[in-house]
Amino acid sequence: MFAILKKEFNTFFASPIGYLVIAVFLLINGLFLWVFKGDFNILHAGFSDLTSFFYLAPWFFIFLIPAITMRSFSDEIRLGTIEILKTKPLSNWQIVLGKYLGAFLLIILALIPTLTYVYTIDQLGNPTGNLDLGSILGSYLGLLFLSAAFTAIGLFTSTLSNNQIVAFIAGVVLSFLMYYGFEAIAELNILKNLNIQNIGMKEHFKSISKGVIDTKDILYFASVTFFFLFLTKTNFDKK
């Protein structure tokens, strides 16, 4: 499994993909949070917190994570190397988990530089150091859970086609539906009392972001991640 993980991770940085994903994520966040005028600009908000960042990051991940995972299996299918991959002395679960962890590690690397935002907010506060650390830590933990689920979804959609663009679009659509789709459905008048939004990721992400780590939220993200990894492994078995 670790050989697959190492191969996947090295592949990202052997081409511009890894650097491009991290650069785009940091650039877009930086522009919205510190440069562009608007509701998300921290400098114009009048108070120093990272609410804007934790609101925007999941929406950026909906597009960036499928861009990372779209080639994971679709390239193997297109090039015909999937048969060679299956001849290695590894179980299909080990191959799937190796590819999954390689992509997830890249996302963690993209998040690490954003810790400078925490320091900046700490210095901008009045008084200095006036931070809600519980909320910030909870929000970062929520982003990790969310990106873990998005990575599993992206890996699954990469098994659906040998075309990377199709895999990317399918990953974006499915991630969007799992994140916001159920909340949108819950806003319909006839369904408002059914709490359908609890099926979606956004509600559980918001819950963790408050700094209160609830077992039901952790189990939710773990279940979604495992479910899509299981679908990935099932599709991989059939190839």
On the question of pLDDT at 134 being above 90, the answer is no
Supply the pLDDT for residue 189.
60
Supply the pLDDT for residue 192.
64
pLDDT tens, residue by residue, 179-207: 998 887 777 666 566 677 778 899 999 99
Supply the pLDDT for residue 100.
95
Residue 151 binned pLDDT confidence (cut-offs 50, 70, 90): very high
- Quote the Cα angle for 67-54-207, to 5°: 110
pLDDT tens, residue by residue, 41-67: 888 776 778 889 999 999 999 999 999
Which residues lie below 8 Å from residue 140, measured CB to CB, with a gap of 6+? 111
Q: Whole-angstrom Cα distance, residue 196 to residue 115?
A: 34
On the question of pLDDT at 214 being above 90, the answer is no
Residue for token digits 């592949």?
Answer: 11
On the question of pLDDT at 129 being above 70, the answer is no
pLDDT tens, residue by residue, 78-103: 877 777 777 778 888 999 999 999 99
Supply the pLDDT for residue 190.
61
